[in-house]
Amino acid sequence: MGEKPTLQSLASSLGVSRQTISNVLNNPQVVHASTRDRVLAEIRASGYRPSAAARSLRSRRSEVIGLRIRPAVDGINGSLMDAFLHALVECSQRRDHRLLLITATSDEQETSEQAALHTTGAIDGCVLTDTHLDDTRPAELAATGVPFVAFGRPWQDRDAGHSWVDIDGAAGTRLATEHLLDLGHRRIAFLGWPTGSGVGDDRRSGWQRAMADAGVAAEDLATGLLDQRTDDGVVEGTQAMERALRAGATAAVCASDSLAVGASTVLRRVSSAETARTAVVGFDDTPVAAALGLSSVRQPVAAAASRVVDLLIERLTTANDPPEPVHDLLTPELVLREFDRRLDQHAR
Amino acid sequence: MGEKPTLQSLASSLGVSRQTISNVLNNPQVVHASTRDRVLAEIRASGYRPSAAARSLRSRRSEVIGLRIRPAVDGINGSLMDAFLHALVECSQRRDHRLLLITATSDEQETSEQAALHTTGAIDGCVLTDTHLDDTRPAELAATGVPFVAFGRPWQDRDAGHSWVDIDGAAGTRLATEHLLDLGHRRIAFLGWPTGSGVGDDRRSGWQRAMADAGVAAEDLATGLLDQRTDDGVVEGTQAMERALRAGATAAVCASDSLAVGASTVLRRVSSAETARTAVVGFDDTPVAAALGLSSVRQPVAAAASRVVDLLIERLTTANDPPEPVHDLLTPELVLREFDRRLDQHAR
DNA sequence: CCATCCAGTTTGATCGTTCAAATCATCGCG
DNA sequence: CGCGATGATTTGAACGATCAAACTGGATGG
């Protein structure tokens, strides 16, 4: 084996110029078909790959996207981010981009790290996740000129100056609530988190509006007895469900699968196993919900990732000024698991 | 704001040459202290960052490491890889390297993708995870000249020509077994996976040897009744534990926390809740084991990641030929959760 | 018959750094 | 006083691609 081939070495062995080969790769339509084929054959035969560094130095684009990953706090919530990360890598790869990871212990550290990578040219832009109230990152990135797209809407001002993609949690809990209404339930509780988290409040609002629209349990809604607020967790779910039962609830929509798991074990004590399963709807459609046969709201994570990548790459390739920011709210899907036991066994 | 500063622009505004500034950053000791300080001050003031592309083009190193990520099959096993990934990013960052992700649907695709990135110079080397029997990746990477370090030993030939870091599963199950022996158990079962997986067989062997060394239940070991083999999963764990109970087992060492969760629910039926917890030891110390108060073998994932990064970077920075391959087996740690209920309540 | 155009191809300059060798100043010492 | 050694700094030449402009040669048309 000789040296690693370069544009120059290929060119002289083919009797054409560097630029022609470069054009075959980047502007195929300007090269004559016959030479194009000849060049392509030689490229394949020699195993030539353009140097990322040289290309990036000249074109001022690295085709790399930055992303901060966070330590998984628990196995449950982690799996969602994991699916998102995976989809993100896949979509980027499909579009000839790569994903670079960073860690940070604070939002400020994250943005400064991203900005540093951006000025060295290591990344062209980045993806923001886990947006929250009073999130300063969009402003900081904008100030340093780092292109980005957020997964998660900006909870303070909906019409932010940047593009974002999010999943419509309220639509999800509405679907869940309407499903339980269809099953005949009227006193449907919501097990959610304390107010103050954008995601949690959003999910609660879907249940609230669906209940109001259906005109059921109006007095209970007013008293707030069906509206249980607690930290996330299985144990917390059981406790919240016990309180809801005392308030006369027969079913529950939950802000997470952890809460739903807890809720269904409580319901099992006062009703058939079948009812205990079908009267609870979780959120995120985690493996745990699938294993226990619980219905759950599934977030279209892969679609979200794909959209994020599309928007970011569009932003990166748009010649000069950034395009109009796009705000995209994807609708989740209700995964029903309501077979009775016999059907369940047939299915296996 | 003017243009982005470069070595040249900084040099002329300081009245020194490019190379001096370059030396301040890469070879501080050759520059006179006074000029060094002057340059450093200006660097900080201007916010100068060297161009990654230019640097990489000339020095032929990108300081980027490739890693394939896999879709999380279940939430349980995923959390371990997640912790490893996170530690990997952190360690790389500390050593001025970055982590680039790829996906692949097969081992061949993984190696060819890594090789492609390596020839473009996008990565300097890569990390291999989830090594298995008949793993062709080490040979393929070696053939294409991609430097790499594996997390997971090569199960076919222990003295492979490449460096690897792994966690001594047998030592972990030995610790677990000896702990149960200390508690007075004699008929200790092992709930593990079918033979043929390197990891599973390794974990089984630690239990086997510890039992043999203690000279207990010799006849049961011979019959294999205490050696339960099943697929991973909570349900599978309950079934295996039931069989083990029939064989007279009073305790169990498990190859995973999923199996342990199943086993402890079964034990609960025939003994006190306290005994059910303390007589089962899981593996991986997942959040689930922590939540249920199960003892478990904790893998030093962060230490492993740190070692992997160290070895890989050493391999990358060693001038010419690769250094002697290093094989590193880290010892896991037994996390005991054996408080009785009263203590447990005090602790809260 | 010459000017014009156009598809196809080539040429020179450039991106911003590091490498390798050259230069310059200072100093010790025979 | 001159000469080599030593330390600090500078200079020229890559690294390998893309950009922008210039060059071909044949077809078109007035």
Residues of A in contact with B4 (CB under 8 A): 119
Q: Give me the pLDDT at residue B345, please.
A: 38
Q: Give me the pLDDT at residue B75, please.
A: 55
In a domain, A48, yes or no: no
Q: What is the mean pLDDT of residues A287-296?
A: 83
**What is the overall mean pLDDT for chain B?**
90
Provide the shortest C-alpha distance from residue B182 to chain A (in Å): 32
Residues of A in contact with B64 (CB under 8 A): 100
Beta strands in chain B (DSSP E): 64-68, 98-102, 125-128, 148-151, 164-167, 188-192, 227-229, 251-254, 280-283, 295-298, 327-330, 333-335
Contact with chain A for residue B240, Cβ under 8 A: no
Chain D positions with an atom below 7 A of a protein C-beta are: 7-12, 14-21
Query: What pTM value is reported for the model?
Result: 0.90
pLDDT band at B2 (very low <50, low <70, confident <90, very high): low
pLDDT band at A76 (very low <50, low <70, confident <90, very high): low
Estimate in Å the CA B20 to C1' D11 gap, whole number.
Answer: 12
Contact with chain A for residue B47, Cβ under 8 A: yes
pLDDT band at A339 (very low <50, low <70, confident <90, very high): low
pLDDT band at B53 (very low <50, low <70, confident <90, very high): very high
Contact with chain A for residue B290, Cβ under 8 A: no
Q: Give me the pLDDT at residue B347, please.
A: 35
Provide the shortest C-alpha distance from residue A74 to chain B (in Å): 6
Contact with chain A for residue B109, Cβ under 8 A: no
Mutation target vs A (from B105, B118, B119; most A CBs, 10 A cutoff): B119
Residue A222 burial class via C-beta count within 10 angstroms: exposed 0-12, middle 13-18, buried 19 and up: exposed
Same domain, A208 and A339: yes
A295 versus A322: the higher-pLDDT residue is A295
pLDDT at B156 over 90: no
End-to-end alpha carbon distance in chain A: 56
At A122-172, the pLDDT tens digits run 999 999 999 999 999 999 999 999 999 999 999 987 778 899 999 999 999
Q: Give me the pLDDT at residue B269, please.
A: 81
Chain C positions with an atom below 7 A of a protein C-beta are: 7-12, 14-21
Same domain, A272 and A315: no
Whether A13 and A6 have beta carbons less than 8 Å apart is answered as no
In a domain, B114, yes or no: yes
Whether A40 and A24 have beta carbons less than 8 Å apart is answered as yes
pLDDT band at B344 (very low <50, low <70, confident <90, very high): very low
Provide the shortest C-alpha distance from residue B53 to chain A (in Å): 5
Cα separation values, A75 from A79, B68, B129, B288, Å: 6, 20, 20, 8
Phi and psi of B157, rounded to 5°? -125, 110
Q: Where is average pLDDT lowest: A61-70, A334-343, B48-57?
A: A334-343
Residues of B in contact with A72 (CB under 8 A): 79, 82-83, 86
Separation between Cα atoms, residue A163 and residue A324, nearest integer Å: 8
Same domain, B84 and B118: yes
Provide the shortest C-alpha distance from residue A287 to chain B (in Å): 6
The shortest CB-CB distance from A85 to any of B53, B69, B75 is to B69
CATH number assigned to the domain comprising residue B105: 3.40.50.2300
Domain span at residue B270 reads 169-298+335-347
Whether B129 and B68 have beta carbons less than 8 Å apart is answered as yes
3-state secondary structure of B54: helix
Residues of B in contact with A103 (CB under 8 A): 86, 89-90, 93
DSSP sequence for A139-160: HHHHHHT--EEEES--SS-TT-
Beta strands B295-298; B333-335: pairing state = antiparallel
Mutation target vs A (from B7, B85, B88, B103; most A CBs, 10 A cutoff): B103
- Judge if the beta carbon of B300 is closer than 7 A to nucleic acid strand C: no
Whether B289 and B322 have beta carbons less than 8 Å apart is answered as no
The shortest CB-CB distance from A54 to any of B57, B100, B234 is to B57
Q: Is the CB of A78 less than 8 angstroms away from the CB of B82?
A: yes
Mutation target vs A (from B49, B112, B118, B284; most A CBs, 10 A cutoff): B49
Estimate in Å the CA B58 to C1' D14 gap, whole number.
Answer: 8
Same domain, A133 and A242: no
Q: Is the CB of B120 less than 8 angstroms away from the CB of A51?
A: yes
Cα separation values, A338 from A185, A274, A277, A294, B276, Å: 15, 8, 8, 8, 33
Report the chain A residue with the minimal C-alpha distance to residue B66. A100
In a domain, B10, yes or no: no
Whether A69 and A103 have beta carbons less than 8 Å apart is answered as yes
Contact with chain A for residue B212, Cβ under 8 A: no
pLDDT band at A63 (very low <50, low <70, confident <90, very high): very high
In a domain, B231, yes or no: yes
Q: What is the mean pLDDT of residues A31-53?
A: 96
H or E stretch at A86:
helix A75-94
Same domain, A176 and A280: yes
Same domain, A184 and A212: yes
Estimate in Å the CA B157 to C1' D21 gap, whole number.
Answer: 60
Same domain, A198 and A262: yes
Cα separation values, A249 from A200, B52, B293, B326, Å: 20, 60, 32, 62
Estimate in Å the CA A31 to C1' D24 gap, whole number.
Answer: 15
Contact with chain B for residue A62, Cβ under 8 A: yes
A218 versus B197: the higher-pLDDT residue is B197
At A163-212, the pLDDT tens digits run 999 999 999 999 999 999 999 999 999 999 999 999 999 999 999 999 99
Q: What is the mean pLDDT of residues A24-46?
A: 96
Q: Is the CB of A62 less than 8 angstroms away from the CB of B52?
A: yes
**Considering only CA atoms, which residue is closest to the C1' of nucleotide C18?**
B58
At B277-327, the pLDDT tens digits run 789 999 999 877 887 789 999 999 999 999 999 999 999 998 667 789 999
Q: Is the CB of A75 less than 8 angstroms away from the CB of B75?
A: yes
* Residue carrying structure tokens 């294993």: A291
**Considering only CA atoms, which residue is closest to the C1' of nucleotide C16?**
B54
Q: Could you give the number of structural domains in chain A?
A: 2
Same domain, A95 and A133: yes
Whether B342 and B150 have beta carbons less than 8 Å apart is answered as no
Separation between Cα atoms, residue A342 and residue B113, nearest integer Å: 47
In a domain, B49, yes or no: no
Beta strands A280-283; B333-335: pairing state = unpaired
Other beta carbons within 10 angstroms of residue B91's beta carbon come to 23
In a domain, B343, yes or no: yes
Q: What is the mean pLDDT of residues B230-256?
A: 93
Same domain, A209 and A155: no
Separation between Cα atoms, residue B88 and residue A101, nearest integer Å: 10
3-state secondary structure of A203: helix
Give the residue from B205, B220, B216, B223 showing the smallest Cα distance to B182: B216
pLDDT at A340 over 70: no
Q: Give me the pLDDT at residue B337, please.
A: 87
In a domain, B45, yes or no: no
Q: Is the CB of B100 less than 8 angstroms away from the CB of A99?
A: yes
Same domain, B293 and B173: yes
pLDDT band at B37 (very low <50, low <70, confident <90, very high): very high
Separation between Cα atoms, residue B94 and residue B108, nearest integer Å: 31
Contact with chain B for residue A348, Cβ under 8 A: no
pLDDT at B348 over 60: no
H or E stretch at A266:
helix A257-270
Q: Give the burial string for A58-96 (b: 16+ CB within 10 Å, else e).
A: eeeebbbbbbbbeebebbbbbbbbbbbbbbbbbbbbeee
Same domain, B163 and B311: yes
In a domain, A135, yes or no: yes
- Judge if the beta carbon of B46 is closer than 7 A to nucleic acid strand C: no
Estimate in Å the CA A30 to C1' C2 gap, whole number.
Answer: 29
* Two structure tokens written together for B51: 């161009």
Give the residue from A27, A26, A21, A23 showing the smallest Cα distance to A42: A21
Same domain, A163 and A305: yes
Estimate in Å the CA A58 to C1' D23 gap, whole number.
Answer: 24
